Structure 1
C-alpha cells in the first residue's frame, strides 16, 4: 500500500485533542464518484503494468474473477469484515485497487502461504546505514511518543519526529535521506515495498498490530523481528485482518475527527487505504471545514483518487463478485 507524506501538524493536534463528534453531527458521504472521469493514474503504475505486458483492465478482471471464483477467499473476506465491523465491499475495493494498479494477483492463495513461510528464514531487519529501528526510536527525540495510546499513534508520532528532526539532515554524525520514514527504515529489500494479498507495507502493519491482536488474536508484531512482520503480511488470513483493521481505522478517523461517515462509499475507503495517513487527512479536512463554516461556505467532502474511482465505477460488478 503506497503511503504519501501526511499532514503531520494536523495529526498531532488531533491526537492531543482527541475530538469525537456526536452521531447527530455526522455528514454522510454519498455513494458514487465525485469526479465524472477517473483522476490520472500515476506514471509509475502505468510503467509497471506496461512492463508486465498487460493492461489495467486485464489486471482488474483477474482480481475480480479471483474473488468471484474462489469461495474460500470470499469466506475469508467476509470473516475479516465481520470481525472488524465493516462491509466486505470495503476490503474488496482495496484488493481490486492494489492488484489493478500495484501488482498482479497471484492465481492461488497457496502461493501466498508458501511465500509467507519463506520470510521467516530471511534474516532481514529494519535498519538504516547499520542503525536498527529499535536503536533509532530509542533516541531522546522520540521521548514524547512513549505515552502514545495505541500502535497507530505511536508509529505516527515517530514518523512525525523523523520528518521534523531527521529527514534530510545530519544528526550525530549520521546522514538521513530526504525521504519518508517508511522508505528509510522499512524497505530492506527494494523501494516501494508492499506485500501479500493486501499489499501491506511493514509500517502499516505495525500501526494496527495491537488492534489485530485484540480482535483476531494474532501475535503482536515487533519492529525488531522483521521476518515475523513479513510473514504476517504475506499470510492471506492475517493480511485480510490487517486490511480490515486499517480500513476500520480510516472510517473511525473520519467519523471522530472530521464528522464524516464514509462507510457508505468504498471508493473513499479504498483511496485512504491507498494513500495512508487517514487520521492526518481527516484532521486536515476538519480544519478546512471549520474555515469554510466561518466563511459561510458549504463543507468539503472527501474525494476519491484514481484507485478509489475504479472501485466505485465497478461497484455493481464487485458486489456481484462477493455474493
Structure 2
C-alpha cells in the first residue's frame, strides 16, 4: 500500500511539473535577431551631431561613468534585486539612453545637482491654458475613475486621449495629433526626458504605485509637476522607476505574448526606449497565433537600433557588474 501511495505521489508530482513546463513561457534566445544594426532615427543623429559628438564617443563616455562609479553600480544591483530583474537590463537602458539620446555627465553627483535645481520650481503639466486637472475633468475620462492602480488609471486616460482628443477639436479646443505625454506632460519641449534613466513624466506617473509599494517612495501627483520631475531626476529614485519599467515589460510579454524576455537585455532595452510594452506584446501574440494556425513556429521579438547595441556590447557591459 505504501509503495502504491509513493507511486501515485510521484505521478502527481511529475504531472504537476510537466504541466508547469507546458505552461512556461517561451524563453527568447540571447543575442540579436538582426545581423546588422537597424537604422538610427534622424533626430538622434542630428542631436549627436549638434553636440559635436559621435555615438561612439557618447557610448564610451557613459561606459566610463559606469566603470568609474562603484557606488552607482552597487545601487543598480540593489535596485534590480528589489524588482526581481537582472541588473544588466538597467545597465543596458542607461547605456542606450546616453548613447543615443543625451550625453552622460562625468560624475553621478552631477545628476543630483541637476535634480536639485528643479526642486521647488513652479511649472505645471497642461496644454496651453488648460491644466492637466482641468483636462481630466472632461466627461470622456469618467470611465477611468474606477481604475485604482496607477498603471491602469493612466493607461485608460492615455487610451481616452487617443480615441477622443488626439488630432480633434473638442469643445472649441484643437488638440495636436501627438502622444498624450508629449502634449500634456512635457512643459519645456516635446520629447524631453530627464535624469540618469531618462524617464518620461507620464511613465513615472504610471509606475507610481509600483515604486511606492516596492521602494517606499511617495506616490506622485500629476498636479505637482515639480515633485514628478524631482523624482525622475534624482538618481536614486530614477533607478527605481527604471527598474519598475523593465519589470513591467518583462511581465507584459510573459502574460500577454507568452514570451520570457528576461534573458535578452537588447529586447528589454528596446522596450525601454519605445514604451508601449502591453500593446507590443499583444501585437506579437496575435502574430504568433496566426503563425501557429499556419503550422509555423513563433516569431521572436526583435531589437531596434538601441537594443541591438546593448546586445552587441553585452560582454563589455557584463564586466561592469
* TM-score, normalised with respect to structure 1: 0.91
The equivalent of 1:167 in structure 2 is 166
Bigger drift between 38-47 and 119-128 goes to: 119-128
CA distance in 1, matches of 2:228, 2:142: 24
CA distance in 2, matches of 1:204, 1:107: 26
Contact 1:65 1:321 in 2 (8 A): no
* Count, aligned residues: 302
The equivalent of 2:271 in structure 1 is 272
The equivalent of 1:97 in structure 2 is 96
Any idea what the Cα deviations from partners look like across 1:211-270, whole Å, max 9, x if unmatched? 000000000001000000000001000000000000000000000110000000000000
Q: List runs of 5+ in structure 2 lacking aligned partners.
A: 1-18
The equivalent of 2:76 in structure 1 is 77
Q: List runs of 5+ in structure 1 lacking aligned partners.
A: 1-20
Shift of 1:138: 2.1
Shift of 1:25: 3.8
Any idea what the Cα deviations from partners look like across 1:21-77, whole Å, max 9, x if unmatched? 966241110000000010000011011111111110111111112111110110110
Contact 2:201 2:229 in 1 (8 A): yes
CA distance in 2, matches of 1:148, 1:300: 33
Shift of 1:146: 1.7
CA distance in 1, matches of 2:67, 2:111: 18
Shift of 1:149: 4.3
Shift of 1:160: 0.9
The equivalent of 2:157 in structure 1 is 158
The answer to whether structure 1 residue 228 and structure 2 residue 227 are counterparts is yes
Contact 1:126 1:226 in 2 (8 A): yes
Counting only pairs closer than 5 Å after superposition, residues 225-264 of structure 1 correspond to structure 2 as 225-264=224-263
Any idea what the Cα deviations from partners look like across 1:99-150, whole Å, max 9, x if unmatched? 0000000111111112212212220100112111122112110112122242
The equivalent of 1:219 in structure 2 is 218
The equivalent of 1:139 in structure 2 is 138
SS in 2 for 1:290: helix
Shift of 1:286: 0.9
SS in 2 for 1:321: coil
The equivalent of 1:307 in structure 2 is 306
Greater relative CO (CA pairs within 8 A, separation 6+): 1
Q: RMSD value over aligned CA atoms?
A: 1.2
The equivalent of 1:41 in structure 2 is 40
Counting only pairs closer than 5 Å after superposition, residues 283-298 of structure 1 correspond to structure 2 as 283-298=282-297
The equivalent of 1:9 in structure 2 is none
CA distance in 2, matches of 1:22, 1:136: 47
The equivalent of 2:202 in structure 1 is 203
Contact 2:94 2:197 in 1 (8 A): yes
The equivalent of 2:182 in structure 1 is 183
Q: 1:149 to 1:303 in 2, by over 3 A?
A: farther
The equivalent of 1:118 in structure 2 is 117
After TM superposition, the runs of 4+ consecutive aligned structure 1 residues lying more than 4 A away are none
Bigger drift between 88-97 and 172-181 goes to: 172-181
CA distance in 1, matches of 2:105, 2:171: 45
Contact 2:183 2:190 in 1 (8 A): no
CA distance in 1, matches of 2:126, 2:148: 25
CA distance in 2, matches of 1:243, 1:309: 19
CA distance in 2, matches of 1:154, 1:284: 22
Contact 1:292 1:299 in 2 (8 A): yes
The equivalent of 1:128 in structure 2 is 127
CA distance in 1, matches of 2:20, 2:180: 34
Contact 1:29 1:261 in 2 (8 A): yes
